[in-house]
Structures are given as structure tokens and as C-alpha cells.
Structure 1
Amino acid sequence: MRILVTGATGNLGSSVIETLLKYLKPTEISALVRTVDDISQLESKKINVFKGNYDDVISLEKAMINVDSVLLISASDEGNRIKQHRNVIDSAKKVGVKNIAYTSRAMRNRETLAHQLMEEHFLTEDYIKSCGLNYVIFRNTLYMDVLPIFIGKHVFESGIFQPAGHGKVTYALRKEMGEAMANVLVKEGFKNKTYKFTNNEAYSFYDIATLLTELSGIKVNYTPVDKLTFQEKMRPTGIPESMLQKVIEFNTDIKNGQEDEITNNLEEKLGRKPTTLKDGLKILFGL
């Protein structure tokens, strides 16, 4: 296998490459990065590093020369993500790449999504399935790593305040999902399969509050609120209106059960149980 990993210096891409290096020679791994600083981060690993981005088709094609497989790590939701993803897929097909993998999202039902940007993942999946390349799709659950940002750095003073009701999420650590993805790519290849990487249990904000209380010794409460109350509380913080709307849509999908589906795919491909929410919170909050 000769594989190109896009978004290679992000937390997910770094985890994938770290695991790939256990199985492949550095010369069999290529990385697409956006800046010169990103290149320096990977040079010490002796892998092939290319500067480029999803909008620069020439750079994509150059990075894919002598590559048989591409892992497309999804672009951010700022900009024309669908076009960027299609640039990567089309370039792979043009250059002669045989296999493509994609990092999608583990949502329960695309037809009832509140956060419409999540539909872009499914549209990318559709395009991959129609392109003629062998594929594997990784539908990843919401990263446990985002919880310190999601619930705020003042959680131990103000508690958790979200419009998610009793909704639950199968949070898992990004590093473990990257490890599992690399295991699949090397050991199983591209067999036109879709995996849902979730934890073995789904957790509500009530669960998060209870565990933070237990771990810190400081009482943390979760207060579920309606969307209007949440907006009124958040606007004085200066959060951009577009970002505020995204947060509300995320929470609405959580409330509606979009993020609570449990599978054993992650455990199977890790070869061990994923890190629990309690252990993850202990790491993420330094408790």
C-alpha cells in the first residue's frame, strides 16, 4: 500500500499516520499539508510531505502520484466543502488512484437533520460511491475531545447550560478513531464498506455533569434550556450569530437522538474497549 493522508497534521490525521507507521515504511506514506510549518512537523518521520489544499487541484494531483490509496479527511465547514471534497475525489480518479477512504459523521438519520451542514458528509459519501473507486467510509461519532470547548472553560463555576434536553452522544476520543481507521486501511483494505465508530455507551449532559462532579469534587449541574433562552444567554458573550446557530443545531440533533446510536465497530477495530467518558474527562480536564 502507498497511501496519501490529507489533513495530516490535524489531531485525527496525526493519529492515523502514527498508527500507519507501525505497519508501513515511511516511504509508503504521503501527507498533504497546508503550510510550511506543517511540513516541518512531519519531516522527522521521513514520510513524503506535500504542500497543498483541497482548492488547489494541481497540488492534489502532484501529491497523488505513485499513490494507490487516499484518505480524505473532511474539510472544515467554512467554505465550499462539497466542491473541495469533489476536487480530491476527481483528482484521485484522474491520477489513477484505486482506493479512497473518507471521514464522515455517525448521524442516525440524514433525512431529519437539524444541522444541515452534516448533510454535506452524506453528499460526499454519495459522490464517492458513484465515482468507481474502491472505498471505505468511516462515520465517526462526535469527538470527546471537543467537550472542554463545547461546555465551556468555566463549567466548574457556572455548570452546563445547553438546549440538548435528555439527548445522548456516543462520544469517543479522536485519537482512538484515528487508530481504528488506520487498522482498517492496512488490515482490511477498501472493500466498499461503511463503519460507524462510536463508544460502547451513549452519554447525556446529565452524565457529563455527574462525572465532572465525581472527578473534581465540585458540584456541576446541567441545566437543559430551550433554544431562545440559550440564545439570550450566549449573545452577550460575543459569539458570532452563525456560530451560535451551529451550536443550536448541534444540540437539536443531540436532543432528537441523532448522536446516540451505539455500534461495536470501534472496539472491534481497536482490539480493545474505547476509553470511557469518565476516563476521557479525567484526561481532557486534567482531573
Structure 2
Amino acid sequence: MLNLFWADEAGLPANDRGLAYGDGLFETIRMEGRQGVLLSRHINRLVRDAARLGITVSGSELKSVCARAADRLSGGGDGAGWILKLTLTRGGGGRGYRPDSAMVPNLMVSGTSPPPQTDPAGVVADFSRVPLTVNPLFAGIKSLNRLEQVMAARELDDRLFEVIMSNSAGHLVEGTRTNLLVKVRDRWVTPPGASLAVAGIMREWVLERLRERGEHVEERPLTTDDILGPDCRGLFLLNSVLGVVPVRTLADHDLPVETGLATIFNPFELLE
């Protein structure tokens, strides 16, 4: 059971725990008309990660909401691109941190225009000065607690598309809104899922496709030398809304732009 709210009517109630404590999760889904890119994976992740937080929601409920959202927000056009956001919180009420087990989850639904397409020749990025701390209990969960990413995103300007955040060990972890994938000689390297603040849907899908093709994929700590060293063949930023984005310049260093990865990604083949 869910309390459903539409962002174009009214926001969440003032006593919502997502507003008070960040007690919830969200999904951002690239839509084309009534269909979504990897929609079932987004729904499954939301159900799975909500269960990790002790918030009960079913996939059938979310699928029904997505269908209603498409009717309401897509503008009626089957070919119009837009972005669907689902914000799920534990619910409202209660005093203090301890939640009431009888709370009914709140779900807020919104639709926005898609971001502009990225330059296929690559984007410009830099290293962030904001460290990223990942609590192992919440690793990979797309929770509402994103203050570190907010502070890192303040470093962005009109020149920079993304900044890359490091953990306390100095390993590169992810961008403010993207996961990292690097071609190092004849293999692909990405930080392990347990080190990530958000384990992205696009990351999951791309790694599966590379392994299906027989490519060598390593999940291990990623260093600056992996990207700026002589063995780097390309750096990609992965995001389910933006897709697969090559980086041509990082911290004023020119990077090679590997084109092979583009051959496995076509968002129109991933619509559900």
C-alpha cells in the first residue's frame, strides 16, 4: 500500500520522513512516450533497496504507478522524451528518528524535460575536492542522503560536465551522478560495487553486455594512474538518463576516446 502524491499538484506532507531525515530512496528513469529505458531494472532496484531499509513496496504497485505517470506526464506522444522521477519515503508522522512500524510509505511522482545530449566526441571533467564516504550498510543504495554529491556538484561550472569523487583511501569511486568505467589496455576496470554510493542501472547493464561479449572486466579499486597513465584507452561516465558518456579531458589532461563501447548501447533498444 502506498500514499501517492503528484509533484504537479502538491509536494509531500510536512511531516514526511524523507524531508526530515532523508529516510527514503529515488529512481530517475529515461522515458520515451510511455516506455522507459531499462524500466524493470529500475523498479526491481527500488523494491530491493527499499527492503534493505525496511520499507515495503511491491513491483506491481510501482509498475501501475509508472503506467499512470506515462498517461499523465508523457504528453500523449509515443516518441516524446522525458524524465520520470519516483521518490519513495518511509511515510509521515512520528517524533524523532525511530520510525513507526505501521507507517504507510509515501511515493511522489514527477516528470521533467530530459537534459541536453552530450557531445559524442567526449566531455570535460575534473577531480572533486569533496571526499566520498560510503557506509557499507547502505553501499549502492540510491537513497535521499546525497549531501556529499550536492557539495561536489557545486564545483561544476559551464565548462565541466562532471567531477570525480574519491574515498578516504584515495581511490576514485564515482562522479556526482555517474559511475566510472575505464579501458586499461585490453581490459575494462570499474570500482567494486561495495565501494559505491550508488550502483547504477546503466553500470549493471553495460558490465553484463561486456562480459557477454567475452571482454575482460575487472571490479577493483580505481586509481588516478589507471586514468592518467599511459595504459588508459578511455574513460566513460555511466548514467541511466545520460547513457554512456566518453571523457576527452580530465583535470586538463587529454584522454583517448575509445569508440567501441558505443556499439553496444542504443537507448531505443532498451525501452520497456
TM-score (norm 2): 0.27
Q: Which has the higher helix share?
A: 1
